[in-house]
Amino acid sequence: MTFHDALFLILATASAVSALGVVVSSSIIRSAIWLLFMLMGVSGLYFFLGAEFLGAAQLIVYVGGTMVLVVFGGMLTTRGPFDHVPVGLVGWVLGGGLSLALFALLVQASLSFVSHPRTDTALPGTGPLGLTLLGVPETPGQTAYLLPFEIVSIHLLVVLIAAAYLARAKRRPTSTHPEADHG
Amino acid sequence: MPEFNLIYTALMIGGVIAFVMGTVAYLILAERKVAAWVQDRLGPNRVGPWGLLQPIADGGKMFLKEDVIPSHVDKVFFILAPIVAFSTALLSIAVVPIGPSTPPPAPQATVAEYEAAQAAYQETFTFAIQPGLDIGILYIFAIGSLAVYGVILAGWSANNKYSLIGSMRSSAQIISYEIPLGMAIVGVLLFAGSLNLETITDWQSQHGWFILFQPLAFLLFITSVYAETNRLPFDLPEAEQELVGGYHTEYSNSMKLGLMLLAEYAHMITTSFLMSILFFGGWSLFGLENIAGETGIGALLLRFGILGAKVFGFVFLFLLVRWTIPRFRFDQLIGLAWKVMIPLAILHLLAALLVRHFELPYFALTALSVLLFFIAGAASVRTSSAQKTRRKQARSATREHATVGA
Amino acid sequence: MVEFGFPAFLVLSAFLFACGLTCLATKRNAIGILMGVELILNAANLNFVAAARFVPTFRLEGQVFAVLVIVLAAAEAAVALAIFLNFYNNHATVNVENATDLKG
């Protein structure tokens, strides 16, 4: 077993165990922390695969941004200090059975893939990636992705406005105040 | 990227961690000494000559003290929080060149030329655990964005209102200030054309330090850094007078609290390195550019000394500011980030883009930077005086109302 | 001697996907369901990046798609959380079984 394989095994086991933790823990905050470790494991796998920019983006956007929101959401909506919502047996059997069947199917499909040899050329770094997103293909004739990039930008703007609108503080109607009525 | 060598990397990691830990231990002593100096006291002077053995005594105390875990806490997270805080603080130093460095080769015209340049780069020695990482500074931000979890977990697991309020304040603060922190350095990256810290240093040794061209970016960066490291004037998460100890209230004075404090100081060291490298040219100094090509031991030591002196200067500034500027109020703190620093950072980025695109001389950016700063200052003075008159009017109106009512 | 290649990544990603699906099926807390969605998106992303590494014609595309997925996931989480917090304001719970107001 080479150093590479050992590293892969460690990262993969960590991600898989954390993903399992998300499923089985009944407290929402614990699930969120397990998910956090899963995301870190996956970003480690990105680094392992040589996609450094993606690994860093995963850490900055997912772990540093999205997950903080989710953890806050969890903290704001739990009742009591360590709120547990247990799952019934029927739920486990149905959901687990369904997922196990799907997992078996996917494993069978993925093992039937012909294993590509690992190419040791470095993945394109930050520069080519950014140029592709700005519509400059790496080699002439390849596809560039300016339109998806623009669509995503507009989408982000829309989401920003929508989330601010949805989460704004509501002004309570003042006329229902009891003292204002008999004035 | 230089070839990976397990033993060499392990040695380098051990060396850097020992260096950081030793510095941190003496930073705590330095903090107390500077505090004493500012307040005209003597400071710790009982253990060893001039109190120099005080860090050892403190460390021994923390190791030997009984480790109390209160019964009402969430034990897993309570133990996890200091580990997260400490490991993120140590991880982020991995790409920082702590000594003289050579930049990785730029893309060449032909593959053969590039490979020759790469081979030459492999031969050179760079004082960083992972030199030549393409995403350099992005990695530091990625790891830095994990640091907030140490605070959130500590506050949540303690099951205590002071801790929770402290951790909520802290996470809001850290998330808000990450934005100006990131945007302040985009101007630097635009000019250096790389995310790699070694390349940024190299650009500055050729063209001059970034503090000369982008003073506003440096101001935004240093302010955000003070907020990110929870130092005064932004130390609301652990405001002793309001929140007991903030998110580490429930940690008894044992090694878990020690890890939290060590993480804070390690963060200070990393950010001091960043400020010296991004804005103050790393190991380069005016008039000494000609030693850049020399490889003798004297030149090496000199560069180490220059970088070390810059870093020490920033650390000393951290300590001094703590005893000079009073704490912000929480709404002022968040307002400063969102209403002042982020718009300023955007405007500064725009100015940098204009200068870069039209290839104006670099000092045009300095002028724009200073101009922006004074416009922002004038605007803030006007709004604050307008607020003051409005408040005065409101007060006199209520007074009139009161007299009419009587 | 085991060589971990493309199939190993596919199996790991399938496992993450199955975990996400189980989350979606069993959790009754809306935020738990959101986490299931995040798991599934990460499984897909892992596939993209592994393909970028192991499929020579997919070197750039895999990374581009993964970046887009990360951005969209962040947007989705922001809107979903805003909706959940609104729901919590009105119903004092985030249990999805109580979200029956629009039912006839």
- Delimit the domains of chain B by residue range: 6-360, 362-406
Lowest pLDDT segment from A91-100, A124-133, A170-179, B303-312: A170-179
What is residue B376's DSSP assignment? Answer: H
pLDDT-based confidence at residue B238 (cuts at 50, 70, 90)? low
Question: Could you report the predicted ipTM of this complex, rounded to two decimals?
Answer: 0.88
Number of domains in chain C: 1
Q: Tell me, what CATH number does C10's domain have?
A: 1.10.287.3510
pLDDT of amino acid B130: 67
pLDDT of amino acid C16: 93
Among partner residues A42, A62, A159, which is closest to C46 by beta-carbon distance?
A: A42
User: Which class for B315: exposed (0-12), middle (13-18), buried (19 or more C-beta within 10 A)?
Assistant: buried
What is residue A140's DSSP assignment? Answer: T
The sign of the dihedral angle between the CA atoms of A111, A117, A120, A121 is: negative
Q: What is the mean pLDDT of residues C8-19?
A: 91
Among partner residues A29, A40, A53, which is closest to B135 by beta-carbon distance?
A: A53
Which residue segment(s) compose the domain that A78 sits in?
7-107+126-172
- Is B74's CB within 8 Å of A63's CB? no
- Those chains having 3 or more beta-carbon pairs within 8 angstroms of chain B are A
What's the CA gap between B74 and B63, in Å, rounded? 23
What's the CA gap between A72 and A28, in Å, rounded? 11
pLDDT-based confidence at residue B229 (cuts at 50, 70, 90)? confident
Residue B251, pLDDT > 70, answer yes
Token pair in block for residue B393: 């009017």
- Is A61's CB within 8 Å of C74's CB? yes
pLDDT-based confidence at residue A126 (cuts at 50, 70, 90)? confident
Among partner residues B72, B142, B159, which is closest to A59 by beta-carbon distance?
A: B142
Residues of C in contact with A65 (CB under 8 A): 74
Average pLDDT value over all residues in chain A: 80
Residue A2: inside a domain, yes or no?
no
Residue whose pair of structure tokens reads 């609290």 in the numeric block: B257
Q: What is the mean pLDDT of residues B218-232?
A: 86
pLDDT-based confidence at residue C1 (cuts at 50, 70, 90)? very low
What's the CA gap between B127 and B114, in Å, rounded? 23
- In degrees, to the nearest 5, what angle opens at C-alpha B272 toward C-alphas B266 and B274? 105
Backbone φ, ψ for residue B333 (5° rounding): -65, -50
Token pair in block for residue A109: 């499909």
pLDDT-based confidence at residue A39 (cuts at 50, 70, 90)? very high
Q: Of residues B56 and A149, which shows the higher confidence score?
A: A149
Which residues does residue A84 pair with via DSSP β-bridges, in sequence order? A27
pLDDT-based confidence at residue B357 (cuts at 50, 70, 90)? confident
Residue C44, pLDDT > 90, answer yes
Give the percent of chain B with pLDDT over 90: 0
Q: What is the mean pLDDT of residues B233-241?
A: 68
Number of domains in chain A: 1
Q: How many CB atoms lie within 10 A of CB C97?
A: 7
User: Which class for A26: exposed (0-12), middle (13-18), buried (19 or more C-beta within 10 A)?
Assistant: middle
C9, C10, C42: best mutation site toward chain A, by most A Cβ within 10 Å? C42
Residue A177: inside a domain, yes or no?
no
Residue C98: inside a domain, yes or no?
no
Lowest pLDDT segment from B160-174, B245-259, C35-49: B245-259
Q: Which amino acid is at B351?
A: A
Residue C43, pLDDT > 90, answer yes
What's the CA gap between C64 and A128, in Å, rounded? 10
Among partner residues A66, A124, A156, which is closest to C60 by beta-carbon distance?
A: A124
pTM across the whole model: 0.83
Q: Tell me, what CATH number does A59's domain have?
A: 1.20.120.1200
Residues of C in contact with A167 (CB under 8 A): 82, 85-86
Average pLDDT value over all residues in chain B: 79
What's the CA gap between B3 and B242, in Å, rounded? 52
Query: Which of A17-21, B21-25, B353-357 is most confident?
Result: A17-21
Asked if A138 has any chain B CB less than 8 Å from its own CB, the reply is no
Q: How many residues does chain A have?
A: 183
Q: Are B69 and B78 in contact (CB under 8 A)?
A: yes
Which 17-56 residues of chain A touch chain C by CB within 8 A? 19-20, 22-23, 28, 31-32, 35, 38-39, 42, 45-46, 49-51, 53-54
- Helix, strand, or coil here: A27? strand
Which 18-77 residues of chain C touch chain A by CB within 8 A? 18-29, 31-32, 34-36, 38-39, 42, 45-46, 49-50, 52-56, 59-64, 66-68, 70-75, 77
pLDDT of amino acid C36: 92
Token pair in block for residue B301: 């030591």
User: Which class for B153: exposed (0-12), middle (13-18), buried (19 or more C-beta within 10 A)?
Assistant: buried
pLDDT of amino acid A154: 93
C-alpha distances out from residue A8 to B45, B144, B274, Å:
52, 24, 31
Q: What is the mean pLDDT of residues A114-136?
A: 73
pLDDT-based confidence at residue B1 (cuts at 50, 70, 90)? very low
Residue A142: inside a domain, yes or no?
yes
* CA nearest to C64 within chain A: A129
Q: Are B170 and B237 in contact (CB under 8 A)?
A: yes
pLDDT of amino acid A179: 46
What's the CA gap between B284 and B279, in Å, rounded? 11
Q: Are A107 and A93 in contact (CB under 8 A)?
A: no
Helix axes B136-144, B197-207, angle to 10 degrees: 120
**Chain-centre distance of CA A168, in angstroms?**
25
Residue A163, pLDDT > 70, answer yes
- Helix, strand, or coil here: B90? helix
pLDDT of amino acid C46: 93
Q: What is the mean pLDDT of residues B222-245?
A: 75
Express each pLDDT in A77-92 by its tens digit. Answer: 876 655 666 677 887 8
Q: Which amino acid is at B355?
A: V
Residue C103: inside a domain, yes or no?
no
What's the CA gap between C42 and A45, in Å, rounded? 11
Helix axes B215-228, B161-192, angle to 10 degrees: 150
pLDDT of amino acid B55: 81
Q: What is the mean pLDDT of residues B71-81?
A: 81
Q: How many CB atoms lie within 10 A of CB B237?
A: 25
pLDDT-based confidence at residue B167 (cuts at 50, 70, 90)? confident
Q: Of residues A114 and C11, which shows the higher confidence score?
A: C11
pLDDT-based confidence at residue B287 (cuts at 50, 70, 90)? low
Residue A71, pLDDT > 80, answer yes
Q: What is the mean pLDDT of residues B16-38?
A: 84
Among partner residues A100, A116, A162, which is closest to C79 by beta-carbon distance?
A: A162
Express each pLDDT in C51-104 by its tens digit. Answer: 888 887 788 888 889 999 999 999 999 888 888 888 888 877 777 777 777 665
What's the CA gap between B114 and B178, in Å, rounded? 36
- Helix, strand, or coil here: A84? strand
Q: What is the mean pLDDT of residues A55-71?
A: 87
B134, B160, B169: best mutation site toward chain A, by most A Cβ within 10 Å? B134
Residue A43, pLDDT > 70, answer yes
Q: Are B121 and B132 in contact (CB under 8 A)?
A: yes
pLDDT of amino acid B402: 65
Residue B371, pLDDT > 80, answer yes
Give the percent of chain B with pLDDT over 70: 83
The torsion region of residue B287 among left (phi > 0), alpha (psi -120 to 50) and beta comes to left
Token pair in block for residue B258: 């020690």
Q: Are A44 and A11 in contact (CB under 8 A)?
A: yes
Token pair in block for residue C64: 């581009």
Which residue segment(s) compose the domain that C87 sits in?
6-93
